[in-house]
Amino acid sequence: DADPGDTLAYHTGAAYPQDAASQVPVLLLAPEPGEVIIDICAAPGSKSTQIGLALHRDGRDDGLLICCDESDQRRRILAENLARQGVASALVTPLPVHRLAERAPGSADGVLVDAPCSGHQDRSVKQVARMALRQGELLTLAAKLVRPGGRLVYSTCTPYAEENEGVIETFCATHPGWQVEAQTLCGIDGDLAGLGGLRLWPQRQGSEPFFAIRMRCPGEASRSEALVGNAPEQEALPWLPNATAWRRGNAWFLGSVQVAACALPSEARGLIIAHGDKLEPWGAQGLIERGALAGETDHATALRLWAGESLSTPLEGHSLLRTSDGLPLGQMTADGLRLAFPSRLFRAGLR
């Protein structure tokens, strides 16, 4: 009965709620550090954060995750979720998918299409058919972004076969050379048409209904360099000794070389640490997670601070603060009495 959003762990980026079925598409995509991955229906960001964390290994951010979504409001939520999770290799772009496909064909090692779908609702035959047509269009655009030899994962959270097996059968019939790579996962059913995809059902797996399948682009070639631009100069990061960050104008951000140099318009790029000398809330948390010196406080005091309360006496020591069990709280105000957060981020009643 507990809501993960009611925990301090969620708000500090230490935990993220995601249905088990929703994690399957990224398992099939299998992103690796150094790769270019495109998520074309990215918001609100559960799969994007899952991909972004896979591009961070052994303390390094290596690779590029391009996140697309047609909704301005959903992209803002996406950027916030990426920041809260400390993802540094992601770029959120307002560029429509069809424009991206024209501009950078063959630029990705892997593309995820977690398509808009009918969900769990009762739909008419015509409604399902219209949705399947839109899904097929998205899949065709996504295929243009995959380099020869690259992989394409398609998924939905609906049980309707027309939007799942039907879309894949039509795609394969109209895209010669593309091959389904049959997958198995322990305890998960195969698809209804024996294509090599996966199915999850509420009555069998205890999750929401889900479909996922992986395909391989014909041929073998390096990815296009259409996304590559010039990275800005790296500079020493004042808040984290022996670390460097990128700087664009007044903004400091952490990120891979690929995300810093990506030649796409962006609404969010890497993990914003600060504007000038003012730390951003999730940037401060990201610094703490990466080893910046921070004071410690107990969980009860942390909950009071996160509720927006002021302490009666200042916390002495470092301006950055974490809990004694490791949750990165962020930066304190200059007087050491409150967390330096915008009022909209404060939450009372957390656990």
- Give the catalytic positions in this structure: 157
Phi and psi angles of residue 110, each rounded to the nearest 5 degrees, phi first = -150, 145
Amino acid at position 146, single letter: V
Tokens representing 104 are 């950078």
**Beta partners for residue 271, in sequence order:** 254
> Residue 99: is it exposed, middle or buried by C-beta count within 10 angstroms (0-12/13-18/19+)?
middle
Q: Give the tokens for residue 92.
A: 């959120």
296 alpha-carbon distance from chain centroid: 29
Beta-ladder partners of 244: 236
* Tokens describing residue 114: 């977690």
Q: Which residue has the tokens 């009555």?
A: 203
Backbone angles phi, psi at 242, to 5 degrees: 65, 20
278: left (phi over 0), alpha (psi -120 to 50) or beta: beta
Cβ contact 212:24 at 8 Å: yes
Q: How far apart are CA 24 and CA 29, in angstroms?
A: 9
Q: Cα–Cα distance between 111 and 114 in angstroms, integer?
A: 10
Q: Helical H runs in 72-154?
A: 72-84, 97-103, 125-145
Strand order in the sheet with 278-279: 234-236, 244-248, 251-254, 271-275, 278-279
288 contacts 87 by C-beta, under 8 angstroms: no
In 3D space, the residue among 210, 283, 246 whose CA is nearest the CA of residue 27 turns out to be 210
